[in-house]
């Protein structure tokens, strides 16, 4: 007999604890030996963080699915368990699939019926499960979907290693959203940082997936957003900010494809899980059918070196009109879901970000040697295990550095070639102490550091000096940007 998830066992009145997720995986391994289990590492509270690996055929697109980053948004967690059990074997011949069913295990187990309680008056919360859900934050109080730049949480650093090791072509991040009253079962998005892969996902991949899903299931989906004015729908539909601390935008800087899924919290829990399962199938199908194109675009995106680099963006600009499925205005104003009558409204779609501030792409940074450890923590793909063999990548290959940090591992397919200069910065002894570390920026990593909080020196004092956040909000790292 096939194992059931906690949601299935309880008729969707409850969601799985982390222990129940681990138990489901163990039971499934015995009955369906088509996958193996890797470990991302352990959470801040010491819980194992499993990754289910399917396929692994050479040359197939790698698709990573993250669930439960916000542990009150549990649909992806349940959906990935079901897909691990039910997805036909044909997918494993054409794709390498990585499932992370519970990325936030500590937050997941802080289950309380008060979390995300439904409050339509204030457009907050969700319908079910009645047994409660976990918290948006980790057990240490960190929002993992705002931690991609600082990487304060050990879970964030584990994910950076996972992505650097597998170099997924497509990453899917499963969430649940409240907000405006509308008629979509799910909204989706991709990176707002301008790049070729993000443009492809926005213009081709997601619209095609949406059409497939509606044809098969009658479920309506659209790009993520909220009404600019709940009482005047003509004012528009606007997406969320561009900041690279969000996972989608961070991954967009790496030149890979990202998909944000937001099931609608005002439909029943069971329907949200079903919607997540079905759209993931369509994304997998699309990726199989367009495998060569996706791999080519990711290769181009990864090797792109935009210069200058946008580090500030204004509010989203209109990309034209869109049609939003919602309810009759009486139901809209009463915040009644479902409403009396389904209606469509045309309005401006605010979803384009244009750089308001740009900087030249740096060739390198110089930082004081005693603060290098803080930067290494923030380095994408930096392995948090201090016992790993120095100078070796995760695949055991030699790195360029001799300390296990610079040059160790890979970053989305790009070997991190970070030179080290254990000597004073020539010509800048007054700005930096002796023993400054030189960090050359490879491709995507240069973009990420450009986007870090920074302050330029007054005009006429080259090269500009930046302040790189140390992550504790009480200290900054003085650094020199070397232009060329």
State the DSSP string of 291-335: HHHHHHHHHHHHH---SSEEEEE-SPEEEEEEEEEEE-HHHHHHT
Place of tokens 């213009």: 203
* Domain coverage including residue 251: 6-355
Is residue 16 situated within a structural domain?
yes
Separation of alpha carbons 95 and 79, rounded Å:
18
- Identify the helix (H) or strand (E) that includes residue 217: helix 206-217
- Specify if 337 maps to a domain: yes
Residue 60, domain member (yes or no): yes
- Does residue 281 share a domain with residue 162? yes
Final residue of a structural domain among 327, 355, 383? 355
| Pair (347, 393) in one structural domain | no
Same domain (yes/no): 182, 260? yes
Domain co-membership, 339 together with 369? no
Are residues 94 and 145 located together in one domain of the fold? yes
Same domain, 370 and 351: no
Q: Specify if 114 maps to a domain.
A: yes
Please, are residues 416 and 406 in contact by the beta-carbon 8 Å criterion?
yes
What is the pTM for the complete model shown?
A: 0.81
Assess if residue 241 is contained within a domain: yes
Count other Cβ atoms within 10 Å, centred on residue 459: 7
Residues 377, 279 share a domain: no
- What is the distance between the alpha carbons of residues 420 and 354, in angstroms, rounded to a whole number? 35
In a domain, 208, yes or no: yes
Burial class (CB within 10 angstroms; exposed 0-12, middle 13-18, buried 19+) of 461: exposed
How far is it, in rounded angstroms, from Cα 401 to Cα 408?
7
pLDDT for position 369: 72
For the chain, what is the domain count?
2
Check whether residue 421 and residue 329 sit in a common domain.
Answer: no
Last residue of a domain, one of 355, 370, 405: 355
One domain for residues 85 and 135: yes
Domain assignment present for residue 1? The answer is no
Q: Are 321 and 428 within one domain?
A: no
Q: What is the per-residue pLDDT for 314?
A: 86
Question: Are both 170 and 309 inside the same structural domain?
Answer: yes
* Adjacency order of strands within the sheet including 364-367: 437-440, 364-367, 476-482, 465-469
Same domain for 129 and 92: yes
| CATH code, 286 | 3.40.630.10
Domain contains 384:
yes
Domain boundary among 334, 355, 376: 355
Sequential pLDDT tens for the chain (484 residues) = 899 999 999 999 999 999 999 999 999 999 888 899 999 999 999 999 999 999 989 999 999 999 999 999 999 999 999 999 999 999 999 999 999 999 999 999 999 999 999 898 999 999 999 999 999 999 999 999 999 888 899 999 999 999 999 999 999 999 999 999 999 999 999 999 888 999 999 999 999 999 999 999 999 999 999 999 999 999 999 999 888 889 898 898 888 999 999 999 999 999 999 999 999 999 999 999 999 999 999 999 888 877 788 888 889 999 999 999 999 999 999 999 999 999 999 999 999 998 888 888 777 777 777 667 666 666 655 444 333 332 222 233 233 222 222 222 222 222 222 222 223 333 332 333 334 444 444 445 555 555 554 433 333 333 334 444 444 444 555 666 666 5
């Amino acid at each position: 007999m096939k194992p059931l998830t906690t949601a299935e066992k309880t008729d969707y009145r409850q969601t799985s604890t982390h222990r129940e997720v681990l138990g489901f995986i163990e039971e499934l391994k015995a009955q369906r030996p088509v996958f193996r289990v890797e470990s991302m590492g352990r959470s801040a509270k010491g819980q194992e963080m499993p990754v289910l690996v399917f396929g692994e055929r050479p040359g197939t697109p790698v698709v990573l699915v993250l669930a439960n980053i916000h542990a009150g948004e549990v649909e992806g967690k349940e959906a990935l368990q079901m897909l691990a059990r039910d997805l036909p074997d044909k997918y494993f011949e054409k794709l390498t699939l990585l499932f992370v069913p519970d990325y936030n295990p500590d937050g997941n187990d802080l289950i309380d019926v008060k979390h995300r309680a439904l409050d339509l008056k204030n457009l907050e919360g969700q319908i079910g499960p009645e047994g409660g859900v976990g918290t948006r934050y980790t057990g240490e109080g960190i929002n993992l979907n705002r931690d991609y730049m600082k990487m304060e949480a050990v879970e964030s650093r584990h994910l950076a290693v996972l992505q650097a090791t597998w170099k997924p072509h497509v990453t899917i991040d499963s969430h649940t959203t409240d907000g405006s009253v509308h008629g979509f079962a799910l909204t989706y998005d991709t990176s707002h940082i301008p790049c070729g892969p993000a443009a492809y996902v926005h213009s081709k991949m997601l619209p095609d997936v949406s059409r497939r899903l509606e044809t098969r299931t009658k479920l309506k989906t659209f790009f993520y957003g909220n009404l600019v004015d709940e009482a005047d729908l003509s004012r528009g539909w606007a997406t969320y900010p561009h900041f690279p601390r969000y996972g989608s935008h961070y991954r967009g800087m790496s030149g890979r494809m990202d998909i944000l899924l937001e099931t609608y919290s005002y439909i029943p829990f069971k329907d949200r899980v079903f919607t997540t399962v079905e759209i993931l199938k369509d994304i997998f199908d699309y990726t199989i059918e367009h495998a060569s194109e996706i791999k080519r675009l990711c290769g181009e995106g990864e090797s792109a070196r935009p210069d200058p680099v946008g580090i500030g963006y204004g509010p989203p600009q209109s990309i034209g009109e869109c049609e939003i499925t919602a309810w009759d205005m009486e139901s809209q104003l009463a915040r009644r879901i479902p409403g009396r009558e389904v209606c469509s409204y045309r309005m401006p779609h605010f979803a384009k970000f244009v750089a308001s501030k740009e900087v030249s792409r740096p060739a390198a940074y110089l930082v004081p040697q005693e603060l290098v450890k803080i930067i290494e923590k923030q380095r994408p793909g930096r392995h948090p295990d201090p016992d790993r063999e120095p100078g070796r990548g995760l695949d055991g290959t030699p790195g360029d550095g001799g300390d296990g940090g610079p040059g160790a591992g890979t970053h989305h397919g790009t070997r991190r070639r970070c030179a080290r200069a254990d000597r004073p910065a020539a010509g800048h002894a007054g700005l930096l102490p002796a023993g400054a570390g030189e960090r050359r920026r490879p491709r995507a990593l240069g973009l990420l550091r450009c986007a870090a909080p920074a302050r330029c020196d007054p005009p006429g004092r080259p090269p500009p000096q930046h302040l790189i956040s140390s992550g504790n909000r009480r200290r900054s790292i003085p650094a020199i940007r070397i232009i060329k």
